[in-house]
Structures are given as structure tokens and as C-alpha cells.
């Protein structure tokens, strides 16, 4: 292969390694292996070239980083939440936006369908739930469903169900991301129809104040799970400069870590639903405080903090040398 073609084929990959530093040990190792392979090839066919010098400097930086990480056994749990997961979220922010936009569209589809078809809500939520809710509304307790089950039992069942739904949304990404989009469609349409049912009866604001005590965390987490599934699907369909196997493994690892990062969120949401939401008559300021705090946490940790961390890392990263420009073939 001519050196010019070798540079053209790999330049963007090397640039991405410099723009977005890897902190996860597995990803560091994979990138280091890729670089050493490229370096070996360049030494063989373009000895003494600037390409060899550049790759040698880049690979040396990865070697030092891997060596430093070997000594960091303690604090691995803390490092995951403080750096590893946020950096993955920053790297995959495009998929987060895709999942968010699609989910909002699906909510609107659900609400519009409920408005146009009186039977749509029953089709989506089931006759039993609709009849029970109507009876609760007539009794003056529209959200009485949250009071019918003992708190601990409700907490456990809700936590299990939410985690199951999130895992299903992620695993369906194996269908090239189409399965994940369909899962988001199901959940979005259901939420849209559910909210329209209450808004149509003049209970919209009350439903927001009550249901979204736990729903803010649940819905946000489902969107992140959807993004994880899309990451998996994109890794399968668009391997880029990696082999399809390498791309799939890397995407699955990132998506799985995003999913793991949601576990505390689901547990907290289940706690709210089991122990807090049942107090439907709580003061307005308290309900709003929980809603705002939950939303601020999800946006702060899953969107703002990853962006700031990446920006600070990029500023601190000093490039050992510039990527070489295309050169005439020396062989």
C-alpha cells in the first residue's frame, strides 16, 4: 500500500484517538493494539518517515497511560462514575439526542392518537387500568392506584420492571437499532396516551405533579437506555475503520456501561414510586422540588457534566506531534 493511501485510510482514526482520549482500560488496550499494528506496518514499508515518528509518539503515550492505569486498582468504582461513564456519555451524545428526539415524537403520536380515537387509550393501557382509573377519578382520588400496594412490595416490583424494560430496550439494539427504536415507540406512545387521558379530564397539571415524582427519573433513564441500544445498533451497522466484530464489541461495551449507570436511577425512581408518589396530596413546593431536582440531576450528570469533562480533558491533552500530511511514497 502506498504511504499516501495508508495515511488517508487511517488519518481520521488517529485524529479521533487524540480528540477523545480513552480512559476505560479495555478501550485503551484496543486502541494501543491498533496503533502498534499500524506502527509495525509503517516501520516495515515506510522506514524513517514522519508517519513512523508520529505513530511512535502516539503509541508511546498510550503505553504510558496503560502503565499508569495498572497501578490504579483502588478507586475503580469511584472512577467509573466520576470519569469513565461520563466520558462514554460524551462520546455517545449524538445517540442520546437521537433517542430524546424520537421519544418526544412518539409521545406526541400517542397523545394525538388518543385525541383522534376514543378507544386508543383502552387499546394501549388496557380496559382494566382505564376502568380502575375512571373509578378513582369518580371517587375523587384519580391517582389512588399508587396507594393500593404495600410500599416495599411496590418498590421491588417497580425496580425489577424498570430494569427489565431498560435491558430489553438495550438488547433490541442487536437488530441494528431498529428494535430499540420500536421499544422507544411503544413506551413513548403509551406515555402520550396516558397523559392525554388525564389532560382531557382536566387533571393534566395534577398528573405531572404526582406521576412525574418518579416519572422524571424513569423516563429520562429509558431515553438513556434507548441511546445505549442505538450505540449497539450503530456499532453493528457502521464499523468505520474497525472490523465489524471489533466495532460491535466496543459498542456493546459502551452501551452496557451506559445501562449499568442507570441502575441507581431506577432504584431511586422505584423508591419514589413506592414510598413517595402515594402521598398525592403533598404540598406543591415539595412536589416541584422533587421534580426539578430529579430533572436537574439527569441533565447535569448525563449531559452537562460529560461535556464539561471532555472539554477539560481535551484542553489538558497536549499532542506530541501533528498528524503527518500525505507524502510521496518512499518505497
Look at residues 183, 191, 152 and name the one whose alpha carbon lies nearest to residue 165: 183
Residue 102 grid cell? 424520537
- What is the block-wise mean pLDDT of the chain (331 residues), using blocks of 10 residues? 81 80 71 80 81 78 62 69 92 94 97 93 91 89 85 93 94 93 95 94 90 93 96 90 84 94 95 90 91 96 92 62 51 42
End-to-end Cα separation, the chain, in angstroms: 10
The answer to whether 229 and 169 are in contact (CB under 8 A) is: yes
Could you say which DSSP state residue 281 is in?
T
The size of the chain, in residues, is: 331
Q: What is the pLDDT of residue 328?
A: 47
Q: Which residues lie below 8 Å from residue 95, measured CB to CB, with a gap of 6+? A: 227, 228, 230, 231, 234
d(CA 109, CA 112): 5
Q: What is the pLDDT of residue 320?
A: 44
Q: What is the pLDDT of residue 231?
A: 95
The answer to whether 6 and 51 are in contact (CB under 8 A) is: yes
Q: What is the pLDDT of residue 229?
A: 96
> Degrees (nearest 5) of the Cα angle 142, 145, 147?
110
In angstroms, how far is CA 208 from the centroid of its own chain? 24
d(CA 175, CA 177): 5
Q: What is the CA radius of gyration of the chain?
A: 25
Tell the residue number behind the cell numbers 422524571, with chain if given. Answer: 216
Tell the residue number behind the cell numbers 462514575, with chain if given. Answer: 81
Q: What is the pLDDT of residue 121?
A: 92
Q: What is the pLDDT of residue 330?
A: 46
Tell the residue number behind the cell numbers 449531559, with chain if given. Answer: 303
Q: What is the pLDDT of residue 240?
A: 75
Amino acid at each position: 500500500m502506498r504511504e499516501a493511501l495508508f495515511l488517508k485510510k487511517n488519518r481520521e482514526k488517529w485524529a479521533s484517538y487524540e480528540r477523545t482520549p480513552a480512559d476505560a482500560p479495555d478501550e485503551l488496550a484496543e486502541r494501543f493494539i491498533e496503533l502498534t499494528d499500524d506502527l509495525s506496518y509503517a516501520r516495515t514499508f515506510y522506514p524513517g518517515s514522519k508517519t513512523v515518528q508520529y505513530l511512535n509518539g502516539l503509541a508511546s503515550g498510550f503505553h504510558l497511560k496503560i502503565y499508569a492505569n495498572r497501578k490504579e486498582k483502588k478507586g475503580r468504582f469511584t472512577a467509573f462514575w466520576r470519569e469513565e461513564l461520563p466520558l462514554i456519555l460524551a462520546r455517545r451524545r449524538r445517540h442520546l439526542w437521537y433517542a430524546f428526539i424520537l421519544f418526544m415524537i412518539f409521545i406526541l403520536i400517542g397523545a394525538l392518537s388518543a385525541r383522534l380515537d376514543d378507544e386508543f387509550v383502552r387499546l394501549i393501557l388496557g380496559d382494566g387500568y382505564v376502568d380502575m382509573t375512571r373509578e378513582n377519578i369518580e371517587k375523587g382520588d384519580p391517582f389512588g392506584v399508587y396507594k393500593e400496594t404495600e410500599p416495599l412490595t411496590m418498590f421491588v416490583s417497580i425496580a425489577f420492571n424498570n430494569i427489565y424494560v431498560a435491558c430489553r430496550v438495550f438488547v433490541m439494539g442487536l437488530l441494528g437499532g431498529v428494535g430499540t427504536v420500536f421499544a422507544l415507540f411503544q413506551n413513548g406512545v403509551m406515555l402520550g396516551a396516558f397523559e392525554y387521558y388525564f389532560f382531557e379530564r382536566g387533571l393534566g397539571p395534577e398528573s405531572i405533579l404526582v406521576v412525574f415524582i418518579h416519572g422524571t427519573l424513569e423516563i429520562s433513564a429509558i431515553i438513556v437506555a434507548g441511546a445505549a441500544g442505538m450505540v449497539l445498533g450503530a456499532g453493528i451497522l457502521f464499523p468505520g475503520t474497525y472490523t465489524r466484530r471489533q466495532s460491535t464489541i466496543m459498542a456493546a461495551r459502551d452501551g452496557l456501561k451506559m445501562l449499568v449507570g442507570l441502575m441507581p436511577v431506577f432504584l431511586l425512581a422505584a423508591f419514589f414510586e413506592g414510598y413517595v408518589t402515594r402521598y398525592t396530596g403533598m404540598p406543591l413546593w415539595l412536589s416541584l422540588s422533587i421534580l426539578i431536582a430529579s430533572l436537574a440531576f439527569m441533565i447535569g450528570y448525563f449531559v452537562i457534566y460529560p461535556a464539561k469533562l471532555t472539554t477539560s480533558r481535551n484542553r489538558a491533552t497536549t499532542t506530541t506531534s501533528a498528524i503527518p500530511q500525505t507524502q510521496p511514497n518512499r518505497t
